[in-house]
Amino acid sequence: MFDNFKAMGALAGLMKNKEKLREAGERVRAKMETTRVIGEAGAGAARAVATGSMRILEVELTSGLIVGMAADEKTRALAGNLIAEACNEAIRRAQIAMKEAVDEEAKALGLDGIPGLENLLQ
């Protein structure tokens, strides 16, 4: 209970100094732009690379999957599903990286443990 009061006091103090909060948000955004995460599906047959800000940079397919795509419609559908799974996995990992970066900044500002803080720092 006292920890919540302490955190609320720190948040109130920080709201008076919005510059610190803005700088923390900029640090999170910059870190996420340079963070790279990888999602894979089909035991690595499809691989997606995303930034920490959840933008897909590239999708790679193994040569076996590409050859199979030319062979039949079922393999093309499978390839589409694998690409979607790899992208979703990369985005999930990017979300985790974003949460970790926000938690790190919040802790540095003395605001760890406040629900909804990630919305202020993104």
Task: Give the distance, in angstroms, between the CA of residue 71 and the centroid of all CA atoms in the same chain.
Answer: 35
Could you tell me the residue range of the domain that residue 59 belongs to? 2-121
Q: Report the pLDDT value the prediction gives residue 1, as an integer from 0 to 100.
A: 46
The per-residue pLDDT for 107 is: 84
| Nearest by Cα to 103 from 24, 11, 37 | 24
The ranges of the chain with pLDDT < 50 are 1-2
- Using a cut of 0.75, tell me whether the model's pTM lies above it: yes
CATH code of the domain containing 114: 3.30.1310.10
Supply the pLDDT for residue 68.
87
pLDDT tens column, 63-81: 999 998 888 899 999 999 9
Neighbouring residues of 60: CB distance < 8 A, sequence distance ≥ 6: 46, 47, 48, 49
Domain count, the chain: 1
DSSP 27-62: HHHHHHHH-EEEEEETTTTEEEEEETTS-EEEEEE-
